[in-house]
Structures are given as structure tokens and as C-alpha cells.
């Protein structure tokens, strides 16, 4: 493909490259130095075989476009839907799983095969196009969440699934762990400290009986995810959500936690409040990733675990350090 060849040449010739999808995650991770060459991966469907439940797309394909193509065959690939403009490559590089993770698993379990460009412009393929595969090392999972620092994701093969026959949101005053104990594998338990919004998917009769048995009241749709100038995504052990909620009482923020998962979406009007929220999260042995705004806040807050090992991997994949420099705080490892 001509566009990919040109992209490879651009990357090979650049001193530093910043990978841009729809630009929805510019604030995630450290800032890339100005002057880095902006590169964009083309969009488009490559192949789709509904009976295989796999789909291949170029990295720059908008999530919404992919979803529309799959919907025509009654299928879906549940990537984080919060920003429909986001690209498939961007969502995967950001490691974003979306609010249905409790039932459907994280984004990393969706990616079967990945093609990426190296800093010297070579195409590397990892994984395979089949739904099950242990042929060689798991490069697809390594690329998910790598924030574009190991390679530029140009093409992916994803596992699809049938769209749920029916889905319904309902609400309970009980905390998410109590609600979960009354249900079989709910899809989402979104908790804001006062109520738990519950997403159930499947056969309408099952949904109705589950909702009745758990004492849930039907509502029109999901809760409103925090939409503030400064936002972060926290990760804590699911069992720590109750204690974290108590701590966040003292912080000027709004938040929604994914019960049973441990992801907490936090929004604040001031940068200092997001720093306070981070302190609350860290007091519960979790960490908070800056997602939007808060320019003076450290992007991660905590030191990366296994920092030396990660730095060795970075050096192995991107020896010149040109791919999204600064996004993850690697150190140079002595050659």
C-alpha cells in the first residue's frame, strides 16, 4: 500500500516521531518534545469474515467506522466507546478497555495479530489471524498499552463477537459488590458512591428476572461519565473501591468506578483537585493515569514497576528512541 510505504519512509527519515490518531489522547503519558514529526496511520477495513469472527483494519480506522461495519453482520468488537472519533490503533496503544470490561474482558484480549512499523521503517508482524494462537511470543499484548513507544500500529486483526440480543441499564442503591453477588456476570457496575448503575446483556427474560431478583430499577441509560477539564483514570484493586470512595469524599471531584474491575474515572475542575484525587488513590495502593488536562501533574504519579526491564524492551524495539519519546519515562540502558 502506497500510503504505508510513505509512512515507513517518513518514520525512517525522522529524528523523532509522534503518532497521532484522532488526537484524543494527547495528554496521556509524558509530553512528546515539540518538533517531533507527526505521523498518522491510514484508515480502512482490510478484511472481515463474520463466520470466523475476526476483522482486520488499518490502525487509523475510527472505532465508530469499525463498529458500523461489524453491526451490519450483527457483530461487535467492544473497544472503549467513550470517544467515537478515536482510532482503533489509538485505543489499543492506550490500552483502553471500555466500561463493559467486567463481562467482556480487557482490550488486550481482543487483539489477535498486529503489524507495526519500527523506527527504521520495517514492518513487523506479531501474533496471527486465528482466534487461538501460541505461535511465538505475544507481541500483540505487548503493543496494547505501549502508548506508541515500541512501534507504530499500522494494522490489526481483532476478535469479534455477536452483539448482545438485548441490553438494559438499571440502578440500585447498594454498593457494587453487593449487587454483583446477586447477579450472574453483569456487564458493568458503574458506581458513583451513591448508586450503582448496572448494565445487563442477554436474553430479555433473563435480564428482567435478574433485575427483579436483585431489586434493580430500570433506567434509560448509563450514568454520565465525568466530563471535567481535568480527568484521570485510576486503577485500584476492586476490593479497595469502598475505602477509596470514603477518601474521595474529601476531594472536590466527581467519579465513577467500575465495580468488580477497579477502574475509576475521575474528573475535577481544578488541577490541584486531581492531584488530591491521586493522593487518595495512592493511599489505597492504586495509581492514577492523567487522561486530560492537568498539565503540571505527573502523567503517572508513581514510578513504573519493572522499570529496567521495560527500558530494555524499549531499547530492543526502538534503539534510536525516536518513537513517541517521553510518553513513557524509559531510561536509556547502556548498550
Interactions with other proteins, residue window 1-40 (CB under 8 A): none
| In the complex, least distance from residue 313 CB atom to other proteins, rounded to whole angstroms | 4
Taking alpha carbons only, the member of 2, 32, 29 closest to residue 290 is: 29
* Candidate list 146, 172, 187, 292; residue touching other proteins; CB under 8 A: 146
Judged by CB under 8 A, the number of residues near other proteins is 79
Contact call for residue 334 and other proteins (CB under 8 A): no
Given its phi and psi angles, is residue 74 left (phi above 0), alpha (psi -120 to 50 degrees) or beta? left
Contact call for residue 177 and other proteins (CB under 8 A): yes
Contact call for residue 276 and other proteins (CB under 8 A): no
Q: Which residues pair with 288 in a beta bridge?
A: 234
Contact call for residue 194 and other proteins (CB under 8 A): no
48 and 163 in contact (C-beta within 8 Å)?
no
| In the complex, least distance from residue 210 CB atom to other proteins, rounded to whole angstroms | 7
Nearer Cβ to other proteins, position 125 or 228?
125
Q: Sign of torsion, CA 191 141 7 157?
A: negative
Q: For residue 287, how far is the Cα from the chain centroid?
A: 15
* Candidate list 79, 150, 216, 256; residue touching other proteins; CB under 8 A: 150
Contact call for residue 295 and other proteins (CB under 8 A): no
* Helices 271-283 & 241-248 angle (0-180, nearest 10): 140
Taking alpha carbons only, the member of 47, 76, 46, 42 closest to residue 61 is: 42
Nearer Cβ to other proteins, position 165 or 224?
165
* Candidate list 9, 15, 26, 184; residue touching other proteins; CB under 8 A: 184
Site string for other proteins, 197-236 (x = CB under 8 A): -----xxxxx--xx----------------------x-xx
Contact call for residue 275 and other proteins (CB under 8 A): no
Q: Is 309 exposed, middle or buried (0-12, 13-18, 19+ CB in 10 A)?
A: exposed
Nearer Cβ to other proteins, position 43 or 241?
241
Q: Sign of torsion, CA 76 82 84 90?
A: negative
Nearer Cβ to other proteins, position 14 or 107?
107
* Candidate list 26, 283, 302, 320; residue touching other proteins; CB under 8 A: 302
Site string for other proteins, 96-135 (x = CB under 8 A): -x---x---xx-xx--------x---xxxxx-xxxxxxxx
Contact call for residue 136 and other proteins (CB under 8 A): yes
Q: Please, which of residues 235-254 interact with other proteins by CB under 8 A?
A: 235-239
- How far, in Å, CA of 51 to CA of 329, rounded? 42
Contact call for residue 185 and other proteins (CB under 8 A): yes
317 and 143 in contact (C-beta within 8 Å)?
no
Q: Give me 27's grid cell.
A: 495528554
77 three-state secondary structure: coil
- How far, in Å, CA of 329 to CA of 250, rounded? 31
Nearer Cβ to other proteins, position 38 or 320?
320
- How far, in Å, CA of 26 to CA of 128, rounded? 30
Amino acid at each position: 500500500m502506497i500510503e504505508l510505504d510513505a509512512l515507513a519512509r517518513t518514520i525512517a527519515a525522522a529524528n523523532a516521531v509522534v503518532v497521532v490518531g484522532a488526537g484524543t489522547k494527547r495528554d496521556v503519558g509524558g509530553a512528546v518534545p515539540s518538533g517531533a514529526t507527526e505521523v498518522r496511520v491510514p484508515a480502512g477495513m482490510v478484511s472481515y469474515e463474520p463466520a470466523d469472527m475476526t476483522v482486520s483494519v488499518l490502525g487509523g480506522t475510527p472505532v465508530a467506522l469499525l463498529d458500523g461495519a461489524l453491526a451490519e453482520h450483527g457483530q461487535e468488537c467492544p473497544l472503549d466507546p467513550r470517544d467515537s472519533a478515536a482510532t482503533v490503533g489509538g485505543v489499543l496503544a492506550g490500552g483502553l478497555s471500555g466500561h463493559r470490561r467486567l463481562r467482556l474482558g480487557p482490550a488486550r484480549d481482543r487483539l489477535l495479530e498486529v503489524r507495526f512499523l519500527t523506527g527504521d521503517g520495517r514492518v513487523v508482524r506479531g501474533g496471527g489471524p486465528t482466534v487461538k494462537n501460541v505461535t511465538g511470543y505475544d507481541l500483540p499484548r505487548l503493543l496494547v498499552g505501549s502508548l506508541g513507544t515500541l512501534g507504530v500500529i499500522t494494522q490489526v486483526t481483532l476478535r469479534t463477537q455477536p452483539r448482545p440480543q438485548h441490553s438494559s441499564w438499571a440502578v440500585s442503591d447498594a454498593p457494587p459488590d453487593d449487587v454483583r453477588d446477586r447477579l450472574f456476570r453483569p456487564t458493568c457496575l458503574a458506581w458513583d458512591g451513591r448508586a450503582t448503575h448496572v448494565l445487563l446483556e442477554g436474553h430479555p427474560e433473563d435480564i428482567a428476572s435478574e433485575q427483579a431478583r436483585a431489586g434493580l430499577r430500570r433506567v434509560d441509560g448509563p450514568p454520565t461519565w465525568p466530563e471535567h477539564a481535568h480527568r484521570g483514570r485510576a486503577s485500584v484493586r476492586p476490593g479497595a473501591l469502598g475505602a477509596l470512595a470514603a477518601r474521595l469524599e474529601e476531594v472536590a471531584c466527581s467519579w465513577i468506578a467500575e465495580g468488580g474491575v477497579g477502574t475509576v474515572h475521575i474528573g475535577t475542575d481544578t488541577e490541584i483537585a486531581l492531584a488530591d484525587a491521586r493522593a487518595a488513590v495512592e493511599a489505597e495502593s492504586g495509581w492514577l493515569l492523567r487522561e486530560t488536562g492537568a498539565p503540571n501533574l505527573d502523567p503517572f504519579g508513581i514510578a513504573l514497576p519493572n522499570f529496567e526491564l521495560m527500558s530494555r524492551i524499549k531499547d530492543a524495539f526502538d534503539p534510536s528512541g525516536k518513537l513517541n519519546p517521553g510518553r513513557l519515562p524509559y531510561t536509556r540502558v547502556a548498550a
